[in-house]
Each structure stands twice: as C-alpha cells, then as structure tokens.
Amino acid sequence: MGSTVNATCRCGLEIDILIGGGMLSFRTTCYFPCLCERCRTVVPVNLLAKRKRCPRCKTTKVVPYDDPTLSDKPGKHVVASWNMGEHLERELKLTDGQYRCPQCGQMTLRFRDSGLCWD
C-alpha cells in the first residue's frame, strides 16, 4: 500500500506526491518524489520504470529526493520510507529535513506525511 506526502516551501510551492506502489503493482511501480529540472516542480516518478521520466514534460532530467545533493540538513524523523532493496538496492527515505525547492532554488522545501494511503 502506498502513501502520500505533502511538499511545501515558503515560496508558495505546495503539492501532494504519491509514494510506493499498490498491492497489485508494487513489483513494477514505485512512485517517489523527484525534482524535475525542466518543469521546476516536484513530480511523482516511477523509479522502477526503465526510463525515469517526468509525468508532465517527459524529460529524463529528474532527481529523486533521496539524492544527498538535494538536502543540506537531513531531518531527525522519517516522514516516509519505502524499502526497495531488492529492486533499487536502497531504502527510499524522506525526512522532516530541508530539501532544495525546484521553484525558488533554496533549501527550504519540506515534506510531511499527509496521512493518506492508497492502493
């Protein structure tokens, strides 16, 4: 069962993003928040797809938010995690730390659990 996080920045960016996959699709689908360099926003990208693409503009210039270059202050609490050791050889994790906002470029983007689960 997947979950949803809310990404917000003081510049006004606010978006809900899917994480994980459903009971029937978890082997082929793993959504995770990514920075789209072309759209300059946060988008859900299926990290299990052969070509990871922005769902809006179709560019492959997307960076998952577990990339250490997108965070300068990791948080102390995990907001969302998805174990992808078998497929991606890592656990996808978002914390309550500060991340680079694609809209303003500052390290002021924050993730929080929206409390919504999906399947």
Q: Give me the residue spans of the domains in the chain.
A: 2-113
pLDDT band at 82 (very low <50, low <70, confident <90, very high): low
Is 43 within 8 Å of 33 (Cβ atoms)?
yes
**How far is it, in rounded angstroms, from Cα 75 to Cα 110?**
10
Greatest Cα-to-Cα distance within the chain, rounded to the nearest angstrom: 38
Q: Residue 90's pLDDT is what?
A: 74
Q: Residue 57's pLDDT is what?
A: 97
Q: What is the mean pLDDT of the chain?
A: 87
In order of 75, 87, 114, the CA distances from 11 in angstroms are 20, 35, 20
pTM of the model: 0.87
For 37-41, 66-70, 71-75, which range has the lowest pLDDT when averaged over its residues?
71-75
pLDDT band at 3 (very low <50, low <70, confident <90, very high): confident
Within 10 A of 60 (CB to CB), how many other CB atoms are there? 11
The β-bridge partners of 99 are 71, 109
Q: Which residues lie below 8 Å from residue 15, measured CB to CB, with a gap of 6+?
A: 6, 7, 41, 42
Q: Residue 108's pLDDT is what?
A: 96
| Terminal-residue alpha carbon distance, the chain | 5
Instruction: Name the nearest CA neighbour of 43 among 22, 17, 80.
Output: 17
Task: Tell me the chain's radius of gyration from C-alpha atoms.
Answer: 13
Question: Which has the higher per-residue pLDDT, 109 or 72?
Answer: 109
Tell me what the mean pLDDT of segment 18-26 comes to: 71
